[in-house]
Amino acid sequence: MANFTGKSILICGVGGQGTLLMSKTLTAGLVAAGYDVKMSEVHGMAQRGGSVSTQVRYGEKVYSPIIGRGEADVLIAFEKLEGARYSNLLKIGGTALINDYEVMPLPVSSGAAEYPQNIYDEMRKGFDLRIIPASTIAKSLGNIRCTNIVLLGALVRVFGLELIDWNAALTASVPPKVLALNLAAFDAGYQFEG
Amino acid sequence: MSNKTRQLLTGNEAIARGAYEAGVTVCSAYPGTPSTEIFENLAQYKDSIYAEWAPNEKVATEVAYGACIANARSLTAMKHVGLNVAADLVFTAAYNGVGAGFVIVTADDPDMHSSQNEQDNRRYAQFAKIPLIEPADSQECKDFMKEAYHISERFDIPVLFRTTTRVSHSKSLVTFGEREEQSPARYVRNIPKFVCTPAFARKHRPELEEKLKALEAYANTSPLNSMELGGGKIGVLSASIAYQYAKEVFPANASFLKLGFTWPLPMDLIRTFASNVETLYVVEELEPFMEEQLKAAGIACIGKQVIPPMFELNPEIVRRGIFGTEPEVAKLNLDMVPRPPALCPGCPHRGFFYVLSKRKDFVITGDIGCYTLGYAAPLSAMDTCACMGGGFSLGMGMAKAFAQQGITDKKIFGVVGDSTFFHSGLTGAVEILYNKGNMIPCVLDNSITGMTGHQDNPGTGFTLKGEIASKIAIEDVFKSFGYGNVIIVDPQDLKAMQKAVDDALASTVPAAIIARRPCILIKRLKHDVGKCQVDRDKCRGCKVCLKVACPALHMTDGKTEIDQTLCAGCQVCAQACPFGAISRLDEQKGE
């Protein structure tokens, strides 16, 4: 990336897991902090259950909204297999933050294929792997749907984004009635010692 | 909304804002990825803009064009293949010109993220002889919209405004401006201008060529085209999202000619630029649209010999093409299982396709929509899917071919959705009746335009703005055509669905099936949702339930298990189970 001095974040998961709210909150924080920001989402064919990914890039000046292979600084996966699938976009030695959670794809549930068992072992070979039980933490807080914000908190920790006002970003992007839950989720993700 | 703050917007949101700022007052479109959100966002300006969902792109373009004839700045927007539907008008509108400004947005889909082809609609600008504008980020989406209306009015011509998926769906920062309120002149009839008889068309024909010459002269000085001289030997001609990729890949001293106005090409400007550099690269996604024109004009350049002519570009692909470099990528030994799209848990289409999947003598001609997923294994219940409306008419052609070949053991079901029915299924339904087609037209009526993200259509009873509208009953349409046996069935009731199929096949008068149940994701409706569970004592592990292709089902230790976070309680699997091993949790409790 000769002309790019910023950072690239890749968020992936299964449609319906809340990747969009996470990227919305993340970009709100980055914009408020004064960065140039671009974000690109891929909408799959179906409404739910497909593989989804969002790319967020920020820095002094961002041209391309998307990256090629080996260019992401950090990968956040809401689902283990999706983390493996998109890891070719992560740079060697980059941080892979993986939610320890499996959603069976149709070929597996129909018995035509096996869910890979060696994902963590393989990812450790190329990346700085951080496993976080974000969905378990979210459930213990009362709602699995705040998995996304648990992961955001963890990202802020591993990526050193503490200087941004995340309380304000969350207040701007989540409905008031679930703000307290999401603030707790953020904190739990941030505090998690992996 | 404060006007001076920077907001992170998608290209589509910015186009809607741009239309607002341009003083547009009439807008009509049909949804299609990646264009849909333009009109969803226009709805927020309802005090100043009339915006609607039309039944199809041709109607939408005609409505918008009619509005411009009546001196209202107007907009239509569609996905790339939508322009094929609308093209009839576009070529003639180029001859006639406009009243007030008229802009057609085409959102192309390189890489076919959610499309059946990746046609490069820049060719349409050249083909239809209308100017082409291509923004490269969201700020340009907004700003160029305003300029598009100025160009349309100044040169008396429709403007084609082309985005790609990455321009439409990626977000970048946008600073807002003020709305240019228009004071339209009162409409006056103008027969020579707007009645396209051959005599008038022959008069317009050379005028159009003059307009194009004037547009090329304008392009050479247009603020939409800009030169950045870097002092190095390399020059890059680029436009749209490819410009962003090129900016990241080429060295800082490379010179750029970035075009936002891409047809007619500013040939004088390009010649000047070419004379400033030693090597000229043309970096463009899909077709060699600019490169061909440069080469025809005798301007040496390197383009598709290094940049792929198909699929989406990205910085990696451009870098490989220009410099031959490969990225360093971790090599993992993983057997990656695909996660193909599937009908959602609780999808009403599941029951229809499950019932039809059981018969090997059925031919099922499908169409564009969520229900295309009926093709996917293990349902595998589809023979064709090609274009909007083809679900009926392709089946008709097959029926006639079978008849000619003496094939009598095939039963043909033509399948379209409710929105597709109004889009272009109507004419196919007429064709089947008029020409005695031996097939059964089926409408999978989930009461919404599903795959594009839930837009209203003439069958839902609501408009784009959410206002109550005339709800056109599909059964009344079939009956009024002359279908004597219109069978309405809930596809989630497998026995009833089976009976509907049997009845249609046995019918002595023309039959049609309407499989009606609203999409379970429609927010304004209350759905009977619940959770199903497997009685592991009753389950024999026969896997019959897996044939309904529900993402919530999987096998654990030789028996079926239902993912409670995914299950919607539709009970299609429970009806498929031969051993009564699956039931709804709330019904078990006797609730």
Pair B277, B235: CB distance under 8 Å? yes
Q: Are residues B122 and B238 located together in one domain of the fold?
A: no
pLDDT above 70 coverage of chain B, percent? 99
Q: Kindly determine whether residue A125 and residue B332, on different chains, have CB atoms separated by under 8 Å.
A: yes
- The pLDDT of residue A74 is 97
- Averaged pLDDT of chain B: 96
Q: Are residues B76 and B120 located together in one domain of the fold?
A: yes
- The pLDDT of residue B335 is 87
* A45 — pLDDT class (breaks 50, 70, 90): low
- The pLDDT of residue B591 is 40
Structural domain including B463 reads 349-516
Question: Is residue A47's pLDDT more than 60?
Answer: no
Q: Are residues B32 and B139 located together in one domain of the fold?
A: yes
Flag whether B304 is in a domain.
Answer: yes
- The pLDDT of residue B3 is 45
Q: Are residues B265 and B133 located together in one domain of the fold?
A: no
Q: Kindly determine whether residue A47 and residue B453, on different chains, have CB atoms separated by under 8 Å.
A: yes
Q: Kindly determine whether residue A47 and residue B521, on different chains, have CB atoms separated by under 8 Å.
A: yes
Question: Is residue B2's pLDDT more than 60?
Answer: no
- The pLDDT of residue A1 is 46
* B586 — pLDDT class (breaks 50, 70, 90): confident
Question: Is residue A2's pLDDT more than 70?
Answer: no
Question: Is residue B158's pLDDT more than 50?
Answer: yes
Q: Kindly determine whether residue A47 and residue B172, on different chains, have CB atoms separated by under 8 Å.
A: no
pTM for this prediction:
0.96
* Distance in angstroms (rounded) separating the CA atoms of residues B575 and B553: 14
Q: Are residues B187 and B277 located together in one domain of the fold?
A: no
* B215 — pLDDT class (breaks 50, 70, 90): very high
Tell me the one-letter amino acid at A21: L
- The pLDDT of residue A193 is 84
Q: Are residues B40 and B62 located together in one domain of the fold?
A: yes
Question: Is residue B590's pLDDT more than 80?
Answer: no
Is the CB of B420 inside 8 Å of chain A's CB atoms? no
Q: Kindly determine whether residue A68 and residue B343, on different chains, have CB atoms separated by under 8 Å.
A: no
Domain count, chain B: 4
Tens digits of per-residue pLDDT, B43-56? 999 999 999 999 99
Partner-chain residue, chosen from A50, A69, A103, that has the shortest CB–CB distance to B341: A50
* Distance in angstroms (rounded) separating the CA atoms of residues A110 and A130: 30
Return the C-alpha torsion angle B286, B287, B290, B296, nearest 10.
Answer: 160
* Residue whose C-alpha is closest to residue A59's, from A1, A127, A129: A1
- Chain A hits for B328, CB-CB cut-off 8 Å, are 70, 91-92
Q: Are residues B486 and B355 located together in one domain of the fold?
A: yes
* Distance in angstroms (rounded) separating the CA atoms of residues B248 and B255: 13
* Distance in angstroms (rounded) separating the CA atoms of residues B73 and B98: 10
CATH number, domain at B435? 3.40.50.970
Q: Are residues B205 and B241 located together in one domain of the fold?
A: no
* Distance in angstroms (rounded) separating the CA atoms of residues B547 and B245: 44
DSSP for B258-324 reads: EESEEES--HHHHHHHHHT-SEEEEE-SSS-HHHHHHHHTT---B-TTTS-SSS---HHHHHHHHH-
Q: For residue B441, what are its two tokens? A: 């037209």
Rounded to two decimals, the ipTM of the complex is 0.95
* Distance in angstroms (rounded) separating the CA atoms of residues A25 and B56: 36
* Distance in angstroms (rounded) separating the CA atoms of residues B501 and B440: 9
Partner-chain residue, chosen from A4, A27, A50, that has the shortest CB–CB distance to B8: A27
Q: Kindly determine whether residue B248 and residue A3, on different chains, have CB atoms separated by under 8 Å.
A: yes
Q: Are residues B155 and B250 located together in one domain of the fold?
A: no
Question: Is residue B556's pLDDT more than 90?
Answer: no
Partner-chain residue, chosen from A41, A84, A127, that has the shortest CB–CB distance to B334: A84
Which residue, B201, B221, B241, sits at the end of a domain? B221
Backbone angles phi, psi at A164, to 5 degrees: -90, 145
- Chain A hits for B250, CB-CB cut-off 8 Å, are 3
Q: Chain A neighbours among B 482-511 (CB < 8 Å)?
A: none
* B268 — pLDDT class (breaks 50, 70, 90): very high
* A43 — pLDDT class (breaks 50, 70, 90): low
pLDDT above 90 coverage of chain B, percent? 94
β-strand pairing of A90-99 with A51-59: unpaired
DSSP for A77-144 reads: ESSHHHHHHHGGGEEEEEEEEEES-----HHHHTTSS---S-HHHHHHHHSEEEEE-HHHHHHHHT-G
Partner-chain residue, chosen from A45, A69, A123, that has the shortest CB–CB distance to B451: A45
* Residue whose C-alpha is closest to residue B222's, from B268, B179, B287: B268
Q: At what angle do helices B138-155 and B11-21 cross, to 10 degrees?
A: 40
Tens digits of per-residue pLDDT, A63-121? 999 999 999 999 999 999 999 999 999 999 999 999 999 988 888 887 889 999 999 99
Which residue, B488, B516, B544, sits at the end of a domain? B516
> Does A7-104+115-191 carry CATH code 3.40.920.10?
yes
Pair A7, A59: CB distance under 8 Å? yes
Q: Cα distance from B541 to chain A (closest Cα, Å)?
A: 12
Q: Would the CA dihedral through A119, A125, A127, A132 be positive or negative?
A: positive
Q: Are residues B113 and B232 located together in one domain of the fold?
A: no
Tens digits of per-residue pLDDT, B470-498? 999 999 999 999 999 999 999 999 999 99
